[in-house]
Amino acid sequence: MNGIHDMGGMHGMGPIRYEENEPVFHEPWEGRIFAITIALGAWKRWNIDAGRHTIEQISPADYLRMSYYEKWLARNIALSVKHGLVTQQEIDVGRPAPGSTKATPPLTSANLGPAVAPRPGYARPEADAKARFSVGDRVRARKSNPPGHTRLPRYVRGREGVVDRHRGVFVFPDTNAHFHGEDPQHLYSVRFRAQELWGESASPKDSVYLDLWDGYLERA
């Protein structure tokens, strides 16, 4: 979907500031939000793409105001309410509704290890999908305005590039975010000349590389 989260190529947002020796968490509450996210994930009510799409739906003013983990907190609340783990009223008052059933959490201290272990990931066998492009092919990112989740940035839509390498087959986020199936597709690293993206004022020596799924591309 189009929204303030898709900030690539936008002006006026200021520089990206590098923090030397940046800690994992700046405040203790950020670590708690991370832990809550892991605990909620054990319910298996949603996936990573659904989580990203939920953050995309935060209002523009709040999105720009919130810190990284504040967005995570807003995402956790929205998904928990949507999938019936808690009601909005319970969130608002900070206590369980009278007569509500106490659920048994799937994540406990006894089974914490598997929850924080490396996950299988989203790669799928190459036999699950047919590659439409090869290294060296000229391609064009589709010009579209999808209403749902997508990993295709606005600034590259309608622009031409060259397939630089093949990444393999991965779950397609556009369908996975809405529980319409994994729809595994080939993923390519595509090189776009800076001048193709930003105009003749950009350096002819610069390029941008983007990992794009098969469904995002067409032959140029």
Sign of the dihedral defined by the CA atoms of residues 108, 111, 112, 115, in that order = negative
Q: What is the pTM of this model?
A: 0.92
Alpha-carbon distance of 87 to 70, in angstroms, equals 20
Condensed to tens digits (0 to 9), the pLDDT of residues 15-43 reads 888 999 999 999 999 999 999 999 999 99
Q: How confident is the model at residue 88 (pLDDT cuts 50, 70, 90)?
A: very high
- Domain 123-219 classified CATH 3.40.640.10? no
Alpha-carbon distance of 193 to 205, in angstroms, equals 8
Name the class of domain 28-116.
Answer: mainly alpha
Smallest CA-to-CA distance from 166 within 121, 120, 213 is with 213
Please say if the pLDDT value at position 8 is more than 80.
yes
Alpha-carbon distance of 14 to 158, in angstroms, equals 26
Q: How confident is the model at residue 216 (pLDDT cuts 50, 70, 90)?
A: very high
Contact (Cβ atoms closer than 8 angstroms) between residue 162 and residue 137: yes
CA of 118: how far to CAs of 36, 115, 157, 193, in Å? Answer: 17, 8, 34, 36
In the chain, where the domains are located: 28-116, 123-219
Looking at every residue in the chain, the average pLDDT score rounds to: 94
CA 126 to chain centre: 22
Q: In the chain, at which residue ranges do the beta strands (DSSP E only) sit? A: 123-124, 138-141, 160-170, 185-193, 207-213, 217-219
Range list of H helices, the chain: 28-41, 48-56, 60-65, 68-82, 88-93, 112-116, 173-176, 194-198
Condensed to tens digits (0 to 9), the pLDDT of residues 156-212 reads 999 999 999 999 999 999 999 999 999 999 999 999 999 999 999 999 999 999 999
Please say if the pLDDT value at position 150 is more than 80.
yes
Alpha-carbon distance of 203 to 117, in angstroms, equals 43
pLDDT for 81 equals 97
